[in-house]
Amino acid sequence: MFEMLKARFFQGYRTGKFPPAAPNLPDHFCGRPQVEAHADIEAARALCPTHAWCEKAGAPAIDTGKCIFCGKCAACGVTFTREYRMAAMTREKLFADASPYTPEEQLDRGIRKMCGHSLKIRQVSAGGCAACELDFNVLNTLAWDMGRFGIQAVASPRHADAILVTGPVSRNMLLALKKTYEAMPKPCWVIASGACAVSGGIYAESPDVAGPVDKILPVDLYVPGCPPHPAVLLEALLRFIGRM
């Protein structure tokens, strides 16, 4: 007992200050992209592994739901800002063009009132590379401690308010995903986390993939990234429940 208290003292209090302080992001962090006026769109298109280029109001934009943030197009006139607030409640809001980021207007789908202080999440991993779920798990560690905001991963879908899906939804996970969703009491919310879940990501063209998630379930929150940095995901969840 005494040893453990000593250990606790030695290891210190290490929960991050984010939020409200800004998160610690790595030097080479690729946040929300911004397409510069001089950007060579054709060249950028040609080297993009996930065909992430799209159009927004007639202008070229990057669909951050497809982008895996490999940063390759930085050489073609795309600036990767340090903006980590990237999640959106509609697919179109993920399109990043030349304009700088403006915080998304929250669509109230009832979640703030019902889950503002307690959000129980059932995670379902469906055909990705496992890094997305690893970095969701990290929010449980004491470095991020999402429990302080009442957010918790639960074992049973029956106890869950939201389902957080990672991966492009492999054909082999389709049934299990549907069943998990059906087992949740309604109303419930669906979160697609990571490029795979949002758009199929790098696996979008695979015949073994049945997704992305919004082909199967009504998605309420899209979180870009490959995988989304824990700060991106935590910010997304907190904004979603009206805590940011």
Partner 1 sequence: MMDFLMLDNGAACAVNAIPCVEMAEFRAALIDGVTKQNCRVSAFCALDINSEKRLLAVLLDSALKKLKLLSSKVGTAYPALTCDAPAFHWFEREIWEEHKILPEGHRWLKPIRFSAPDAEIGVTDYFTLQGEAAHEVAVGPVHAGVIEPGHFRFQCMGEDVHFLEIELGYQCRGVEKLLSGGPDVKTLHLIETAAGDSSIAAALNYCAIAETMNHVEVPPRAVALRTLALELERIANHIGDLGALAGDVAFLPTSSFCGRIRGDFLNMTAKLCGNRFGRNFVIPGGVRFDLDDAGIAELQKKVLQGEKELFHALGLMFDAPSVLDRLENTGVVTAETAREIGMVGVAARASGVALDVRRDLNCDDFIPETVRGGDVLSRALVRKKELVHSLDVVKRLLAELPSGEVQTPCPATLTASTLGIHLVEAWRGELCHLVLTDENGKIRYVKIVDPSFHNWFGLAMALRGQQISDFPICNKSFNLSYCGHDL
Q: Which is nearer to partner 1, 109 or 216 (CB)?
A: 216
Which CB atom, from 71 or from 150, has the smaller least distance to partner 1?
71
Give φ, ψ of 138 to 5 degrees. -60, -30
Residues in Cβ contact with 169 at an 8 Å cutoff, skipping those fewer than 6 apart: 126, 127, 177, 197, 209, 210, 211, 212, 213, 215, 216
Nearest CA to 228 out of 67, 75, 92, 101 is that of 67
Give whichever of 89 and 163 is closer to partner 1, judged by the CB atom. 163
Taking the complex as a whole, the smallest distance from the CB of residue 81 to ligand SF4 amounts, in Å, to 12
- Residue 219, beta-bridge partner list: none
Rounded CA-CA distance 212/201 in Å is 9
- Of partner 1, ligand SF4, none, which one sits near residue 125, judging by CB under 5 to 8 A according to partner kind? partner 1
- Among left, alpha and beta (phi > 0; psi -120 to 50; other), residue 57 is left
The listed partner (partner 1, ligand SF4, none) that binds 232, CB under 5 to 8 Å by sort, is none
Instruction: Identify which of residues 157 and 167 has a Cβ nearer to ligand SF4 in the complex.
Output: 167
> Residue 123: which of 68, 176, 67 has the closest Cα?
176
Work out what residue 142 binds among partner 1, ligand SF4, none; the CB cut-off runs from 5 to 8 Å by kind.
partner 1
Residue 59 binding partner per list partner 1, ligand SF4, none, with a CB distance cut-off of 5 to 8 Å that depends on partner kind: none
Q: Bridge partners of 121?
A: 153, 162
CA atoms lying within 13 Å on the CB side of residue 31: 17
Nearer to ligand SF4, 160 or 197 (CB): 197
Selection from partner 1, ligand SF4, none that 140 binds (CB < 5 to 8 A by kind) is partner 1
3-state SS string over 191-226? EEECHHHHHCHHHCCCCCECCCHHHCCCCCEEECCC
Contact set with partner 1 (CB under 8 A): 3-4, 7-8, 10-11, 14, 24, 26-30, 46-50, 68-72, 123-138, 140-144, 153, 155-156, 167-168, 170-173, 175-176, 180, 202-203, 205-209, 226-227, 229-230
Shortest separation between residue 95's beta carbon and ligand SF4, angstroms: 11
Q: 131: how many CB neighbours lie within 10 A of its CB?
A: 15
Task: Retrieve residue 167's tokens.
Answer: 């991966």
Contacted by 20, from ligand SF4, partner 1, none: CB < 5 to 8 Å by type: none
Spatial separation of the C-alpha atoms in residues 93 and 86, rounded to whole Å: 9
Which of partner 1, ligand SF4, none does 67 bind, CB closer than 5 to 8 A by kind?
Answer: ligand SF4
* Contacts to ligand SF4 by CB under 6 A: 47-50, 52, 62, 67-73, 128-129, 131-132, 166-167, 194-196, 201-202, 226-227
Q: How far is the CB of 147 from partner 1 (least distance, A)?
A: 11
